[in-house]
Structure 1
Amino acid sequence: MRVFILIACFIPLLGWSQIGGQLGYQSLNLTTNPRAAALGGTAISFGDGDISQFFENPATLDSVRAKNIFFQINPYFADVFVYSGAYTFNVASMGTFSAGLTYVNFGSFNMTDESGNQLGTFQAQDYTVQIGKAHQLGLFTLGASVKLSHSSIESYGSTAILMDVGGIFRVNKNWTVAMVFKNIGAKITEYSSFSSPQVPFDVKLGSTFKPQYMPLRFTLTTTNLANNNISLAQNDAGRSSKTLDKIWKRVNLGAEVLLSENFQLLVGYSHKRKQELRLDDSGAGAGFSYGLMVRIKRIELRFSRATYHAAGGSSFISLRTDLNDFKKIL
């Protein structure tokens, strides 16, 4: 375990070299669970036994029991589908681990020659397999996950070995602060000798707070802390360039209305998404998201909806349960 902690503390230093260049592997930036989707697109500071947060921050695994299972489907845009799943298990003398899979199916595309003649079709897809573990040190928890990510387009492919390293500090039972280094690593194969996109390294800092006598829980998550320029030049046309606006583009806000243990409502806001995807004369709801959680016996169901632009948004549906409790369900 000491070796694991030492490696996890050292590897984030390598991530700073990933800043800049043309980015690839953008599927790694997709939201992979409805809870995060409803809270503005990302949330890293939960430590309440929710295995779906493993994709956001591996340090959240310290509160997850073995035999927890999670599955999500996200009909994205233009017939693109995103699937994700995770399972937690015990390893003798080593503790609890979680394994996760994210699969993005971009669908079929027409293949043509230089003259536009139809030659057939081809597929494009990305997938990421990861395994992680967390270790608690008093009020502080350190977690890490190793990821193998592969992207393929027709007969071309690229593979990367990456790592997420995160931590959570529990100030008290109602207040947590977290930080995570995402996608540390490098590619081991390229699409071609002419292609050298960078992996989307990111640093996030967030906090979750619940007022003691209120049925509300608030979440704030900052992103892109390792990147000075997070907007493309063409996306800034007609948008505010004030310093405050640039700061808010790094902030995601969310709130959960805790009506009961079995029913919750969620809302969120991403200023970056609003500013970059809104219409010139109207926001059309871009940047806002919402969702709900319903728990029936031991099965937790979640639905979220994130609005990206005037043309619509994306829905997220998931199921989570503890296999230890199946006998109670039946």
Structure 2
Amino acid sequence: MFAIISITCLITGIKTQAQIGGNSTYSFLNLSNSARITAMGGHAFAIQDNDINLALVNPSLINEAMNNHLSFSFVDYFADINYGYALYSKTFKKVGSFTGGAQYLNYGKFVLADETGQNLGNFTAADYCMNIGWGKSLDSTFSIGANLKGIYSKLEKYSSSGVAVDVAGTYNNPKNNFTASLLFSNIGRQIKPYTEGNYERLPFEIQIGLSKRLKHVPFRLSVVATHLEKFDLTYESSVGVTPSVDPLTNEPTSPQRVSDIADKVMRHFVFGGEMLLSKNLNFRLGYNYQRRKEMKIESKGSTVGFSWGFGLRISYFQFSFARSKQHLSNSPNTLTITTNLSNFIKKGK
């Protein structure tokens, strides 16, 4: 019983990243893995500069310039939770470019106890996803791509498996430094539910991303519209009651509910920017409106919803770091390392 309660609380904590969570399973698929994406608000994917890490989210960015690229990413999340991925890309002239990788989310170790509190040992919990991506250019401006995901989850004695597909298309205009992408993510179903007969939906999402590099300033702006499959993302209490007292400050709260149309529209948008100082150094900043509205407290908003990071190239390696303020108690750190293995292969004489 205690094990079930622990797992339930754990998954609930992960799903609070977006309050639309709780209606689907495998929510770890929507976590931001890349330091670059995390620094720009958690949803920057419409940038065509041959970054293999963006291709993990948007397969239509996969191209032959990523051939032999390898990337690793690690996120020090909350408590003992951590997650990350490894990704590799290879191009075949006749069929297109491919990526292959693996994602994981490790919840850590838990104490297994019965309803009386007797210690029965320990157990672990984790989620995994194997990913194969394909991308192909249709012409000089349009490209398409897809990801195939095999999903496995193990929570104490409960296990589940599923399959999902991402489908995307990208328009890229190098002359105007403009890129636009349309993404349908996590189309699929559970193959084996955690409990017999209890099948759950996957976290399906429709997104549109735009990016523009300014002409006279070394700056790129990214705007992403998320969850276009649902207009109203406003959080509603599961019990239908608005708390009259702030649980942290014990001060009275306003009973009114946010229903303004402008607020509902803004909850879909994530803004990011990159200051491109050189080929070897850049700084990034992001703002997630929905995250700030849901995770801040009225008495102290702090920088909840904001994120920042940088990219640094040293020799053959690209290092990216990000820090995201998801709520007042903690800010996860993300580190991504990328390289081109071709640089280490000696060319024939």
**What is the TM-score with the length of structure 1 in the denominator?**
0.89
**1:192 matched to which residue of 2?**
195
Q: How does 1:1-330 map to 2 (within 5 A)?
A: 22-62=23-63, 64-91=65-92, 93-138=94-139, 139-173=141-175, 174-193=177-196, 195-234=198-237, 240-326=258-344
Confirm or deny: 8 A CA contact 2:275 2:282 kept in the other structure: yes
2:163 counterpart SS class: strand
Amino acid paired to 2:164 = L
CA contact (8 A) 2:64 2:90 kept: no
Could you tell me whether the CA contact under 8 Å between 1:42 and 1:56 is conserved in 2?
no
Structure 2 equivalent of residue 9 of structure 1: none
Structure 2 unmatched runs, 5+: 1-19, 244-253
Contact 2:124 2:155 in 1 (8 A): yes
C-alpha displacement of 1:259:
0.5
- 1:154 and 1:285 mapped to 2: Cα distance? 36
Deviation at 1:172, TM superposition (A): 3.7
The structure with the greater share of residues assigned to helix is 1
C-alpha deviation, 1:63, in angstroms: 5.5
User: 1:218-277, CA deviations, whole angstroms, 9 ceiling, x for partnerless residues?
Assistant: 000111111234243139875643111111111000000010010000000000100000
* Sequence identity percentage: 31
Alpha-carbon distance between aligned partners in 2 of 1:63 and 1:272, rounded to the nearest angstrom: 36
Cα gap change, 1:311 to 1:186, in 2 (>3 Å):
same
Q: Which has the higher strand share?
A: 1
Q: Structure 1: how far apart are the matches of 2:23 and 2:96?
A: 39
What do the CA deviations read for 1:275-301 (whole angstroms, capped 9, x no partner)? 000012121110000000000122100
Larger radius of gyration: 2
In 2: Cα distance, 1:63 partner to 1:89 partner? 8
In structure 1, list runs of 5 or more residues that go unmatched.
1-18
Equivalent residue number for residue 247 of structure 2: none
Instruction: Report the AA paired with residue 305 of structure 1.
Output: R
Scaled by the length of structure 2, the TM-score of the pair is: 0.85
1:13 is matched with which residue? none
Q: Report which stretch shifted further, 230-239 or 191-200.
A: 230-239
Find the aligned partners of 2:338 and 2:174 in 1 and give their Cα distance: 26
Indicate if the aligned counterparts of 1:47 and 1:62 stay in contact, CA closer than 8 A: no
Alpha-carbon offset, residue 199 of structure 1: 0.6
Aligned-residue offset at 1:104: 0.5
CA distance in 2, matches of 1:209, 1:145: 25
Asked if the contact 1:47–1:63 (Cα under 8 Å) also holds between the matched residues in 2, the reply is no
Q: Please state how far the C-alpha of 1:92 moved relative to its aligned partner.
A: 6.8
Q: What residue identity is the alignment partner of 1:248?
A: M
- Give the length in aligned residue pairs: 310
